[in-house]
Chains A and B, each alone.
Chain A
Amino acid sequence: MRKSLQLVCLTALLLGAIRANAATHEAIPEGMARIPSGIYRPLFRSVTDPAEVRVNEFCLDTLLVTKGDFLEFVRTNPRWQRSQVKRIFADENYLRDWAGDLELGTNANPNQPVVFVSWFAAKAFAQWKGKRLPTTAEWELVAAASSTRADGENDPAFQQDILRWYSTPAAKELPVVGKSAANLWGIHDLHGLVWEWVADFNSAAVTGDVRNDTGLERQLFCGAGSVGAKDVRNFPAFMRYGFRSSLKANYCVHNLGFRCAKDL
């Protein structure tokens, strides 16, 4: 009798705990995690740029958008199917690894991250989900966290792991999403799987228009004074900055995918 009473109490306690937990996270959509507000310190900035960018709390997909997710999107939005898409919104590599408009191909796994998608396609997918793409500041803030600390950039082992990925040739078959350990905020695969589109990729303004040469920089920019790196140790962030500044919005690349964000 006493034992069963204990059990009841324990169950009640547990239920209470679960309910409290659910109440705290009620506003978080499924598949997303809440990212608390924080401060992003841009890697590069001109003299007139802010040293710190405040990032308000928001939600981020814990996983990258998968091929399966994207298949559902193109099924209901035929104008984003491979044969229908307009070139100005996606170059000729759009969904190149798929077998057809609605076929991933026999070797593909629907849980692999979708790649060969343009910025326009990623943005349209996010809109369709009632979400948006994360900003550079949001993405970098989240990606700075290791599994144990928010400031992973100060953790040499974490930086080393990222660099190891950057220096390893891409696997022939993309791994499926969610296999790597989540970071402090519960987000998977920020490093080590694919690069990710951000909403304001075209604010990475090393030079002006990407089709032009760096020699034109002074011609192209107004007030582009001195540009200096914040922290030369943060080489991965430097590489991401360089990668973003080389992109055009209709580019579809084999190792570039995305995940969605949402305001709280």
Chain B
Amino acid sequence: MKSFFNSLTLSATVLALGLSANGANASDAPAKSTKPACCARAEAPGQFTDQSIYQVESKWKTDDGKEIHLGDLAGRPQIVVMFFASCHYACPMLLNDVRRIEAALPEDVRGKVGVTLVSFDTKRDTPEALAKFREAQNLPSDRWTLLSGSDDDILELAALLGVRYKQDATGQFMHSNLITILDSKGEIVHQQVGLNQDVTETARILKQLSNS
């Protein structure tokens, strides 16, 4: 048994070495047709800054069924929250915190700030489910964007925002309670950590961003 595994490993090793040798030869040739389709967008010349999370290539669905890139949110400051609609504990409080931030903004500033909610829950939070959530929560459609995406893209966005999350056995998500403020170019300028925090600082930063 053991020697079988050994010989399997050995042949795998030999194959791996053979593969990388071939690969090295192949890559000596000028690489023109090898550019994966995934990277076409990111190589668009200088569209977003080095620190912008809008550089990601992932595609998302809005609750009205439109497909967008995060870069489509550029142009105004955004309040970004990762959540899931069936959450009964922290997410309603997070949503309430976002409303408190909005309430702390002068009306002209509020109109210039977007809010983006991104769901962790790929199974339940379909665009239709999020549309219902919008209706139930009475979220204005001109400023609030509700996004659903793939597991992989959610993991990547969470990594960019510093959000940690994990689904437990009951299907609920344990997650960091973070409210992220992005400037109009998609750079993280501020994060409000935890629930029921004082919103003064976050509101001040948003005012500053929308006046600049």
Contact = CB atoms under 8 A, between A and B. Distances in A.
Interface stretch (A26-34, A93-101, A163-171, A234-242): A26-34
A186 B6 CA distance: 7
Contact of B194 (A203, A219, A224): A219
A262 interface: no
Given A49-B168, A222-B91, A224-B174, 13 more contacts: A48-B170, A50-B169, A69-B20, A69-B23, A76-B31, A76-B35, A186-B5, A199-B155, A205-B166, A208-B164, A210-B162, A219-B194, A222-B87
B115 to A, nearest CB: 20
A249 interface: yes
Contact of B24 (A62, A63, A72, A127): A72
Interface of A: 25, 30-33, 46, 48-50, 62-63, 66, 68-69, 71-72, 75-77, 79, 86-89, 119-120, 123, 127-128, 132, 147-148, 178, 182, 184-186, 188, 199-200, 202-205, 208-212, 216, 219-224, 245, 248-249
Given A48-B169, A79-B43, A222-B90, A212 B9 contact: no
Contacts of B160: 88, 249
A221 B175 contact: yes
Contact of B50 (A76, A88, A204, A222): A88
Contact of B16 (A49, A63, A86, A200): A63
Contacts of A212: 193
Contact of B23 (A25, A72, A79, A205): A72
B123 interface: no
B24 to A, nearest CB: 6
A69 B21 CA distance: 9
A30 B15 contact: yes
A31 B12 contact: yes
Nearest to B177: A220
Given A76-B27, A221-B174, A88 B159 contact: no
Contacts of B172: 48, 222-223
Contacts of B195: 219
Nearest to A201: B159
B178 interface: yes
B8 interface: yes
Contacts of B66: none
Question: Interface extent on B, as a size class?
Answer: 35 or more
A89 to B, nearest CB: 8
A245 B174 CA distance: 14
Interface centre among A71, A186, A222 (most CB of B within 10 A): A222
Interface of B: 2, 5-6, 8-9, 12-13, 15-16, 18-20, 23-24, 27, 31, 34-36, 38-39, 42-43, 50-53, 55, 87, 89-91, 152, 155-156, 158-160, 162-166, 168-170, 172-178, 191, 193-195
Contacts of A66: 20
Given A33-B12, A48-B169, A205-B176, A72 B20 contact: yes
B174 A88 contact: no
Contact of A222 (B27, B31, B155, B174): B174
Contact of A79 (B8, B18, B42, B177): B42
A182 B6 contact: yes
A30 B12 contact: yes
Interface centre among A62, A147, A216, A223 (most CB of B within 10 A): A223
Nearest to B168: A48
B177 A31 contact: no
Contacts of A62: 9, 12-13, 16
A87 B160 CA distance: 11
B27 A46 contact: no
Contacts of A178: 13
Nearest to B196: A219
A87 B194 CA distance: 27
Contacts of B38: 127
Contacts of A219: 177, 193-195
Contacts of B23: 69, 72
